[in-house]
Structure 1
Amino acid sequence: MPLSLMILALSAFAIGTTEFVIMGLLPNVAADLGVSIPGAGWLVTGYALGVAIGAPFMAMATSRLPRKAALVVLMGIFIVGNLLCAVASDYNVLMFARIITALCHGAFFGIGSVAAANLVPANKRASAVALMFTGLTLANVLGVPLGTALGQAAGWRSTFWAVTVIGVVALIGLVRFLPARHDEEKINLRQEFASLGNARLWLSLSMTALFSAAVFGLFTYVAPLLNDVTGVSPRGVTWTLVLIGIGLTLGNIVGGKLADWRLGTTLIGVFVAMAITSTLFAWTSATLIPAEITLFLWATACFTAVPALQINVVAYGKDAPNLVSTLNIGAFNVGNALGAWVGGSVIDHGLGLTRVPLAAAAMAVLALVVTLITFRKDGSTPDLSPVTN
Structure 2
Amino acid sequence: MLQMVNAEPHRRGREKAPLRKGLTLSALALGTFAIGSGEFGTNGIIQLYASDFDSSISLATYAVTAYALGVVVGSPLITVLAARLNRKTLLLGLIGLFIVGNILSAMATSIGALIAARFVTGTVQGAYFGAAAVVAAYVYGSGKAGKAFATVMAGLTVATIFGSPLGTAIGQSFGWQWLYIAVSALGLLAGMALYLWVPKSADLSGGAISRELSALTRRAVWAMIAVASLGISSIFAVYTFIGPYITDAAGVSKAVIPIALAVFGLGMAVGNQVGGRLADRFVLRGLVLGYALVLVFLVVVALGGMWLPALFVGLFGVGASAMMAIPSIQVLLTRFAPEAPTLMGAMNLAALNLANALGAVGGAIALSAGFGTLSTAWAGFILAISGLLVLALTIPRSLQRLSPAESVE
Q: Could you state the TM-score of these two structures normalised by the residue count of structure 2?
A: 0.85
Unaligned runs of 5+ in 1: none
Amino acid at match of 2:274: V
- Please point out which of 203, 206, 209 is paired with 2:223: 203
Q: Which position in structure 1 is the counterpart of 2:7? A: none
* 2:211 alignment partner in structure 1: 191
Distance 1:322 1:184, change over 3 A: same
2:396 to 348, 372, 376: 376
Which residue, out of 311, 324, 346, partners 2:344? 324
Larger mean Cα displacement after TM superposition, 76-85 or 183-192: 183-192
CA distance in 1, matches of 2:403, 2:44: 40
Which residue is equivalent to 1:253?
273
Greater RCO structure (CA 8 Å; 6+ sep): 1
Matching of residue 313 in structure 1 with residue 339 in structure 2? no
Mapping of 1:76-155 within 5 angstroms?
76-155=96-175
Aligned to 1:168: 188
The amino acid of 1:83's aligned partner reads: I
Q: Which segment is superposed worse, 149-158 or 169-178?
A: 149-158
After TM superposition, give the deviation of residue 262 of structure 1 in Å: 0.5
1:333 correspondence with 2:353: yes
Alignment match, 2:65: 45
Q: Name whichever of 75-84 and 207-216 sits farther off.
A: 207-216
1:262 aligned to which of 282, 295, 300: 282
In 2: Cα distance, 1:29 partner to 1:383 partner? 53
Percentage identity across paired residues of the two chains: 32
1:221, CA displacement in angstroms?
Answer: 3.0
**Retained in 1: the 8 A contact 2:137–2:148?**
yes
Q: What CA deviation, in whole Å up to 9, does each residue of 1:108-131 have, x standing for no partner? A: 111211121122221222112211
Rg larger in structure: 2
> Corresponding residue for 1:292?
312
Does residue 223 of structure 1 match 2:254?
no
Relative distance call for 1:224 and 1:191 in structure 2 (3 A) is: same
Residue in 2 that maps onto 1:213: 233
Provide TM-score, normalisation by structure 1: 0.89
Confirm or deny that 1:237 pairs with 2:284: no
Deviations for 1:314-355, whole angstroms, at most 9, x for unmatched residues?
A: 111012222222222222222223323333444456554332
Query: 1:158 aligned to 178, 181, 193, which one?
Result: 178
What's the CA shift for 1:107? 0.8
CA offset at residue 267 of structure 1? 0.8
What residue in structure 1 maps to residue 298 of structure 2? 278
Give the whole-Å Cα distance in 2 for the aligned partners of 1:349 and 1:13.
Answer: 37
Distance 1:15 1:106, change over 3 A: same
